[in-house]
Amino acid sequence: MGRLDGKTVLITAAAQGIGRRSAQLCASEGAVVIATDVNAAALAELATESPSVTVRRLDVLRRDEIETLAAELADSVDVLFNCAGCVPDGDAADTTDDVWQQTFDLNVRSMFWLCRAFLPAFRRRRAGSIINMASVAGLKGVPRRLAYGASKAAVVGLTKCLAADTVADGIRCNCICPGTVDTPSWRGRVAASHDPQRARAQFEARQPMGRVGTADEIAWMVVYLASDESSFTTGASMVVDGGWSM
């Protein structure tokens, strides 16, 4: 028997990285999975590789697209995993207004819009698990992650407030705070640095385990929070960081 038998899980930014592995592991645990992303070509690849996963294009910067999707699917969704996010580089001196705004739009406002669109159906059914993607950078100061760290701290706050507002309605809301994880965008950040070999070594060295995490190591936390195994957990920030924040 699968850990997610009978559940329907909707995931944003599921075409690659943590979202993609979460879609695949949730499906392997018996869930009906709706994997959404703005990248239709990458979604098509996912659908070919994992035929049990249903894919659907969704740009989380578009409120109209979110509301259309929720009107169609919210009554059948049990778990909403808000995974979409970007990781801009910068400190207070070189972060532009545009970068700040784009980061908050993608990392925070999209979650607000998705939660607001799906909550009425969750409330009617007095059930539902919301999982938001935060980061250890939202809990501790990380150099050159000004907009990113601020946005992920906002995700932690959004999660706690949502949990407080919905706990009496039978809804749970938690976030995940990963350390550095090997995903396509992380590899891109390494490759874009002046000295990729050195950058990779620095990322690994700041993790006490001496390595970065895998997408699977975060996706299993998604499975746990999606499942009834976590039925007494709400408002929590689940740290999965190889000991970086200890």
Ligand X SMILES: NC(=O)c1ccc[n+]([C@@H]2O[C@H](COP(=O)([O-])OP(=O)(O)OC[C@H]3O[C@@H](n4cnc5c(N)ncnc54)[C@H](O)[C@@H]3O)[C@@H](O)[C@H]2O)c1
Q: Which residues are annotated as catalytic? A: 148
- Does residue 227 touch ligand X according to CB under 6 A? no
CB of 86 to ligand X, least distance (A): 7
- Does residue 190 touch ligand X according to CB under 6 A? no
Q: Which of residues 129-188 bind ligand X (CB under 6 A)?
A: 133, 135, 178, 180-181, 183-186
How far apart are the C-alpha atoms of 59 and 65, rounded to whole Å?
Answer: 7
Number of residues that bind ligand X (CB under 6 A): 29
Q: Show the binding pattern over residues 50-89: x = contacts ligand X (CB under 6 A), - = does not.
A: --------xxxx---------------------xxx-x--
Provide CB contacts within 8 A for 47, sequence distance 6+. Answer: 53, 54, 55
Interface with ligand X by CB under 6 A: which range of 24-32, 35-43, 45-53, 114-122?
A: 35-43
CB of 148 to ligand X, least distance (A): 7
User: In whole angstroms, how far apart are CA 116 and each of 80, 82, 83, 158?
Assistant: 11, 12, 16, 12
CB of 96 to ligand X, least distance (A): 19
Compute the CA torsion angle 150, 151, 157, 163 (nearest 10 deg). -160
Q: Which of 28, 39, 54, 193 is close enough to bind ligand X by CB under 6 A?
A: 39
How far apart are the C-alpha atoms of 13 and 20, rounded to whole Å?
Answer: 8
CB of 153 to ligand X, least distance (A): 12
Name the residue among 42, 36, 31, 40 with its Cα closest to residue 13. Answer: 36
- Does residue 244 touch ligand X according to CB under 6 A? no
- Does residue 38 touch ligand X according to CB under 6 A? yes
**Contacts of the segment 140-144: beta carbons below 8 A, 24+ positions apart:** 140/244, 140/245, 143/91, 144/89, 144/90, 144/91
Q: Which of 29, 37, 78, 217 is close enough to bind ligand X by CB under 6 A?
A: 37
CB of 210 to ligand X, least distance (A): 16
Nearer to ligand X, 163 or 238 (CB): 238
Nearer to ligand X, 27 or 133 (CB): 133
Q: Which two tokens stand for residue 205?
A: 């060295």
Name the residue among 169, 155, 160 with its Cα closest to residue 118. Answer: 169
Residues that bind ligand X (CB under 6 A): 12-13, 15-19, 37-39, 42, 58-61, 83-85, 87, 106, 133, 135, 178, 180-181, 183-186
